[in-house]
Structure 1
Amino acid sequence: MSRARSEELGTKPIGPLLIKQAVPASIGILVMSLNILVDTIFVGNWIGPIAIAAINVVLPVSFFIAALGMAIGIGGSSIISRALGAEDKQKALKTFGNQISLTILVTCTMVLLGLWFRDSLIPAFGGKESIFEPAKIYYTIVLYGVPFLALCMMGNTVIRAEGKPRHAMIAMIIPSIGNLVLDYIFIYILDWGMMGAAWATTAGYLLCFSYIFYFFLSPHSELKPRWTDLKFEGGILKEMGALGFVTLARQAVTSITYLLVNNILFNLGGAAMVAVYAIIGRMLMFALFPVFGVTQGFLPIAGFNFGAGKFERVKKSIYTAITYASVVASLVFVLLMVFPDSIVGLFLSDRADLSAEDQATNAFVRENAPSAMRWVFAATPIIALQLIGAAYFQAVGKALPALLLTLSRQGFFFIPLVLILPLYYGATGVWVSFSLADVLATIVTAFYLQFELKRLVRKSA
């Protein structure tokens, strides 16, 4: 039965198949994004805007370590999808076993290093002055749970590679709901402040890990690695590393971006300006969930059919994914352009007992965040092409173009822009850099993808 489910990736019509894969992925990402969004709203209303800035400082470090698991997951899942398409079950099992071993080894090492250099990393990412202490509390507790998050990110991509999007969705929903419930208990009822927010997040990681562990032990999964599969194999590690490096490089550049933007904005407007960026950052994670869902649904379809030599289906999956993702991205764009003030207001509290600093920060955020949000999301309708294009090369095992396209937006374009434009236009230069980088990266991706589509036409002829 499980094998039949994975074979659906190569037989069902692309449109309905993409919807079947993308809807659960979108729901899972939606719930996870809502978790981050509502978590930030709770923190802003029950603790204060400085706490929002503190969490924004911590995210790059914890996300980078978690991204190690995602990188190993996506790199290995590309191999698994193609192996299942080529009916090479043994290679799929060996790859999954190597993913498990590598994720545990690498993330635990990084957590130890992250704790050792804690007092240096937090200020480097913008955790200065009033932001430092709450950021340190949150950072320390969350880092304990990050290895479990990394295993979850790795396992979730493998579940999708098996063609089980519903279970992948459930794995994302469980920790999100758990985190929100525990937020209410730890922050609102028990009044644990930043410590409560951190423990709620860490407990959510453990809940997610518990479900994924159950899935791979259950009859739902066709991948049951043996102890011998956990032993590293050079060829698999090399291919997995090359493909996974794309994801890791993207997250590394994202962490560098947070470091730069947090520090640039702190120098321009202090903690209040960092709070503006924190809110926009949450919206970047939340608002584009359907686009990311289509991208996640597209990956196993492209990988399986490429491995099976069905190049016409690969080409059709690219066109269909770009079309679907562009439609939803345009809808998101309209909402963000029309309602930015209402969105920003959700994160801010009108409580009379807020400190003078928090009240001043709230007023600053209300005034500046809506216009900043419009600039950041100005290019949203065209980003689908860039995301799907980069994802395609990763799905079919072409590491170099996948790496170049993944790094193009933030690495090649955004970082230079954000270093230059604020010198002339202040904070507006920071916000404009986001949309300009989107436009430039989309142009480059379109150029690469055009040549690749011509190759697929020749192969399918």
Structure 2
Amino acid sequence: MLRLAVPAVAAQLINMLYNIVDRIYIGHIPVVGKTALTGLGVSFPILMLVSAFAAFSGMGGAPLASIRLGAGDRKGAEQILGNSTTLLLGTAAVLTVFFSLFKRPLLMAFGASEDTVGYALEYLSIYLLGTVFVQLALGLNTFISAQGKALTSMLSVLIGAVLNIVLDPIFIFGFQMGVRGAALATILSQAVSACWVVGFLCTKRSGLRIRLANMALKKEIVSRIAALGVAPFIMQSTESLVTVVLNSSLQTFGGDLYVGTLTIMQSVMQMVVMPVQGITQGTQPIMSYNFGAKNFQRVRQVFKRLLTVTMTVTITAFIIVSLFPGQLAQIFNDDQELVALVDRVMPVFFAGIWAFGAQMACQTTFMALGQAKTSLFLALLRKVILLVPLAILLPRITNSVMGVYIAEPVADILASATTLTIFLTRRKKLLPTPKD
């Protein structure tokens, strides 16, 4: 677990830097930093949708490939890789065209104002040109992890992230490109990462290789990828839906300043969620491989350790955020009014994050075991079934903008408790113990 999870955690943390570093630099642009940061925040739902489609093909295919490898079927695993690659390329083309045509009305619907939409359009107009690089870099990297090559997977992300950190200040401040410079640095960095990932999967260094013969779509393979990929897709795409609902409610009951708090808090949330996702991503191939080999005892042992680690991370995050909300806000912007507001609302927004580790551990285990329907329900539960209605209703019931912030912890705690209960009731059937 350590050998696979530590590089995966590092990869997720490094990948997080793409958005975080952009926000830090943009938030500190002289004079317009606060407004530009809010503009970038309202474009976040579109960025999440692009990533969600990468997860659909990548995370839908990678566990299936791991199971095939565990069963000794390398040819079947490579067919899954080939079909996933084709899906990623096709999705990239559709997304680029669609969002380029409708980005302004979408941004206004997502909570932008006339003051902030210009910055969002500047960023997206360039970012969307690199959609194909985002799809390939994120989607195919999961197949490197699926082989147990966690260090290589980490390096593929590290290369792009380091390049992004270097290019951001050059383009934003050196060339005085502002928000457009941040977008250009991001897509150039993703392009380098995509070349690294594709290059590796086309060489003998990879246990699974991309072959043209396997890229012709087959209905049976695509349906299996889709059945498992719909859960991670919904997990990420509903993050986009949640952001839209939260932004709209905050704009209605508070205004641009409150939308700005969400941009900062979502950045901090990424700092918590990304390490947890790295832990689960690194652990998933172990579960899938041993499940395919019918070594159920080892799968149970891995789950217990996974739950312990994820809960430790989320409880620690809860303590840090509760104690230092203002200091975390200052990382992204130094406007006193914005920092003071974040200092007040962040402990409320993160009040349920401690329970999130249980949901991630259980949901990842269902995915690793190929339980598509259960994974889909759990993906819908926290965001769509609980958080979205709560974010709409609570501010109206309380007649206060604080209702928007309260919705997050209520959804976190209810969803985590439900997920853990479902897993405990089904584990004996999924992972039977040998009879004496």
| Same fold (TM > 0.5) | yes
More divergent stretch after superposition (184-193 vs 367-376): 367-376
| Residue 231 of structure 1, CA deviation | 0.6
Check if 1:307 corresponds to 2:280.
Answer: no
| Residue 459 of structure 1, CA deviation | 4.9
Take 1:320 and 1:452, find their aligned partners in 2: how far apart are those partners? 18
Amino acid at match of 2:140: G
Structure 1 runs not aligned, ≥5 long: 1-17, 350-361
Amino acid at match of 2:339: R
Q: 1:44 — aligned with what?
A: 27
Amino acid at match of 1:74: M
Q: 1:344 — aligned with what?
A: 329
Take 2:157 and 2:346, find their aligned partners in 1: how far apart are those partners? 27
Amino acid at match of 2:422: Y
Q: 1:272 — aligned with what?
A: 257
Take 2:132 and 2:47, find their aligned partners in 1: how far apart are those partners? 10
Does the Cα contact within 8 Å between 2:311 and 2:356 map onto a contact in 1?
A: yes
| Residue 457 of structure 1, CA deviation | 5.0
| Residue 228 of structure 1, CA deviation | 1.3
Take 1:308 and 1:372, find their aligned partners in 2: how far apart are those partners? 48
Check if 1:451 corresponds to 2:391.
Answer: no
Alignment partner of 2:354 out of 381, 396, 408: 381
Alignment partner of 1:396 out of 369, 381, 386: 369
Alignment partner of 1:156 out of 126, 141, 155: 141
Amino acid at match of 1:400: K
Take 1:236 and 1:459, find their aligned partners in 2: how far apart are those partners? 31
Take 2:5 and 2:260, find their aligned partners in 1: how far apart are those partners? 32
The 1:225–1:187 alpha-carbon spacing in structure 2 relative to 1, beyond 3 Å, is closer
TM-score calculated relative to the size of structure 2: 0.96
Q: 1:237 — aligned with what?
A: 222
Q: 2:409 — aligned with what?
A: 435
Amino acid at match of 2:262: Y
Amino acid at match of 2:126: I
| Residue 252 of structure 1, CA deviation | 2.4
Check if 1:419 corresponds to 2:392.
Answer: yes
TM-score calculated relative to the size of structure 1: 0.91
- Deviations along 1:312-370, whole A, 9 cap, x unmatched? 11111111100011112222222111111111112224xxxxxxxxxxxx333122112
Alignment partner of 1:366 out of 317, 329, 339: 339
Does the Cα contact within 8 Å between 1:65 and 1:111 map onto a contact in 2?
A: no
Secondary structure at the counterpart of residue 130 of structure 1: coil
Check if 1:334 corresponds to 2:307.
Answer: no
- Deviations along 1:183-215, whole A, 9 cap, x unmatched? 110012111111111111111211211211221
Q: 2:118 — aligned with what?
A: 133
Take 2:51 and 2:416, find their aligned partners in 1: how far apart are those partners? 27
Q: 2:16 — aligned with what?
A: 33
Secondary structure at the counterpart of residue 156 of structure 2: helix
Q: 1:13 — aligned with what?
A: none
Take 1:332 and 1:260, find their aligned partners in 2: how far apart are those partners? 25
Take 1:399 and 1:460, find their aligned partners in 2: how far apart are those partners? 25
Structure 2 runs not aligned, ≥5 long: none
More divergent stretch after superposition (135-144 vs 243-252): 243-252
Does the Cα contact within 8 Å between 2:48 and 2:237 map onto a contact in 1?
A: no
Q: 1:63 — aligned with what?
A: 48
Alignment partner of 1:167 out of 148, 152, 155: 152
Does the Cα contact within 8 Å between 1:305 and 1:313 map onto a contact in 2?
A: yes
More divergent stretch after superposition (158-167 vs 53-62): 53-62
Take 1:457 and 1:180, find their aligned partners in 2: how far apart are those partners? 44
Secondary structure at the counterpart of residue 162 of structure 1: coil
Check if 1:318 corresponds to 2:306.
Answer: no
Coordinate RMSD, CA, aligned: 1.4
The 1:102–1:460 alpha-carbon spacing in structure 2 relative to 1, beyond 3 Å, is farther
More divergent stretch after superposition (377-386 vs 284-293): 284-293
Take 1:225 and 1:212, find their aligned partners in 2: how far apart are those partners? 11
The 1:309–1:373 alpha-carbon spacing in structure 2 relative to 1, beyond 3 Å, is same
Does the Cα contact within 8 Å between 1:183 and 1:200 map onto a contact in 2?
A: yes
More divergent stretch after superposition (169-178 vs 80-89): 169-178
Take 2:337 and 2:237, find their aligned partners in 1: how far apart are those partners? 30
Q: 1:54 — aligned with what?
A: 39
Q: 1:183 — aligned with what?
A: 168
Check if 1:254 corresponds to 2:239.
Answer: yes
Aligned length in residues: 432
Moved over 6 A (4+): none
Does the Cα contact within 8 Å between 1:299 and 1:391 map onto a contact in 2?
A: yes
The 1:423–1:364 alpha-carbon spacing in structure 2 relative to 1, beyond 3 Å, is farther
Does the Cα contact within 8 Å between 2:202 and 2:211 map onto a contact in 1?
A: no
| Residue 296 of structure 1, CA deviation | 1.1
The 1:460–1:201 alpha-carbon spacing in structure 2 relative to 1, beyond 3 Å, is farther
Amino acid at match of 2:188: A
Take 1:303 and 1:457, find their aligned partners in 2: how far apart are those partners? 12
Q: Percent identity?
A: 28
Amino acid at match of 2:179: M
